[in-house]
Amino acid sequence: MTAREGDDLGHPVSIDGPAARVVSLVPSLTEAIAATRREALVGATEWCTHPADLDVTRIRGTKNPDRAAIAALEPDLVLANREENRELDIRRLREAGIQVWVTVIETVDESFASMRRMFTDGLCWDVPAWLLEAERVWAEPVASAGRRVAVPIWRDPWMVVGARTFTGDVLDRLGLINAFGDGEDRYPHVDLADIDRDDIDLILLPDEPYVFTADDGPEAFGRAPTTLVSGRSLTWYGPSMVSARADLQRALQQTGTT
């Protein structure tokens, strides 16, 4: 086997030639592989919903992957993420002799740099065309709107997007101010009253990880206006980033926020 450059945490991988069998433990990375070299993707989690017609072995969830099922697939490389996946699972996969590439992504720029390295150093593939296009789309400047927004990601208990997150950086790129972006926690637990207040201009309700809908979410808020948005556009890095900026701007324009 040939030792390659380390992943985003500096852990080296050793595989022979370009990866031909890949298991992904991250929905957005699953979509990235499927959009680039679909035939190489042999396993993914139950949460990997894009593309909708993906037909691969399912290896349970991001937090409880079936390590035996992963080993049985004989992957050249398993793709993971520090935030999405447990260190315990990654360590035990490596102890079983399985090569794992861990990404660390907390900003838009980090997403591009991390995925470039994943493709070129981890998988030994070329940089895909969709990644080049996504980089171009997000390089365009944004006039700051200065609007304060909150993004709940769970209810009962309520949780919101906080500091040092990919989603928070997406908000910044859209000219928005994350009302919870100055704290210490990345996804703080808060009271409903902390979100539903007069100094927040808009509450964005994504459809994942909690599935906010027209009948489940907006009714909780009496002060701040709300709008439903695509969780994939707001939280996924990968091919969705090609259209995510325009999709989110459209949703915001409908509310008068941009």
Cis check for the bond before 75: say yes or no (omega within 30 of 0): no
Domains 2-137 and 147-255 share a fold: yes
- CATH fold for the domain made of 147-255: Rossmann fold (3.40.50)
45 contact partners, CB below 8 Å, separation of at least 6 = 24, 25, 26, 27, 30, 58, 59, 60, 61, 62, 65
Question: According to the model, what pLDDT value does residue 70 have?
Answer: 98
pLDDT in tens, 143-158: 676 899 999 999 999 9
Distance from C-alpha of 248 to C-alpha of 176, rounded to nearest angstrom: 12
59-64 long-range CB contacts below 8 Å, 24 or more apart? Answer: 59/23, 59/25, 62/25, 62/26, 62/27, 64/89
Question: According to the model, what pLDDT value does residue 145 have?
Answer: 66
Nearest residue to 50 via CA among 164, 203, 207 = 207
Question: According to the model, what pLDDT value does residue 16 have?
Answer: 84
Distance from C-alpha of 65 to C-alpha of 213, rounded to nearest angstrom: 28
Question: According to the model, what pLDDT value does residue 49 have?
Answer: 94
Token digits of residue 81: 């993420």
Question: According to the model, what pLDDT value does residue 15 have?
Answer: 86
pLDDT in tens, 169-201: 999 999 999 999 998 999 999 999 999 999 999
- For domain 2-137, give the CATH number: 3.40.50.1980
5 contact partners, CB below 8 Å, separation of at least 6 = 12, 117, 121, 122
Q: What is the mean pLDDT of each run of 10 residues along the chain (258 residues)?
A: 75 92 98 98 96 96 97 98 97 97 97 97 97 96 83 97 96 95 94 96 96 97 96 96 95 76
Domain ranges for the chain: 2-137, 147-255
